[in-house]
Amino acid sequence: MNQRSSRRSLDDYYIRIAWDVSRRGNCRRRAVGALLVNKWNILSVGYNSVPIGSTSCIDGGCPRCLSNATRHKGYDRCICIHAEQNAILLAARQGTITDGLTMYTTLRPCLDCLKMIVQAGIREIVYDLPFLLDDELEATHRTLQTESGIILRQHPFTKPLDTPELHLVDSDMPSDDKKK
Ligand SMILES: [Zn+2]
Ligand SMILES: [Zn+2]
Ligand SMILES: [Zn+2]
């Protein structure tokens, strides 16, 4: 393979970095990585974590994640911040303008993240893994996409082979729940 044919595309380059970022996550339930980029550069990164200074979720810092709350339940007592939201919030903390940026993320954003991404002025989302929503949530998700004009693109699957199960789609449920 010569240098030209082995050279990574920009999408591939950013998605692989997003997977690497996900490995820094400190939530026991979910591990996602997200980047905010402009045309040339990475301006912010985020992974699932509790607020800076709090006891990390893997050390028992989040009561909701410690409990057996199932997917989509109990988020009003979850202190973990999703990767996409962290990328936006850490940009805010550093005074980085998010308007017009592109987000790369390992997982299709949930509705909560999508609304924040839209409101932060991000114009495009490139994600790797799908995230299945129930019909009602999916319809709301799609309406928000259409009305905001945001572009969502799924990247051809690039998850690294050594990715722990926690990083996969339906990890946000207690393990005994998964066996059913
Ligand atoms: Zn957590
Ligand atoms: Zn939590
Ligand atoms: Zn989310």
pLDDT value for 46: 98
On whether the CB atoms of residues 12 and 104 are closer than 8 A, the answer is: no
Distance 5 CA to ligand 3 centre (A): 35
According to DSSP, residue 51 is labeled P
Residue 180 has a pLDDT of 31
Q: Looking at residue 71, what is its pLDDT?
A: 73
Separation of CA 78 and ligand 2 centre (Å): 4
Ligand lying closest to the C-alpha of residue 77: 2
Residue 46 dihedral angles phi and psi, to the nearest 5°: -150, 145
Q: Which two tokens stand for residue 166?
A: 């926690």
Neighbours of 123 (CB within 10 A): 15
Task: Walk along the chain (180 residues) in steps of 10 and give the mean pLDDT of each run.
Answer: 80 94 94 95 97 96 90 84 98 98 97 97 96 94 98 86 62 38
pLDDT of the residue at 177: 39
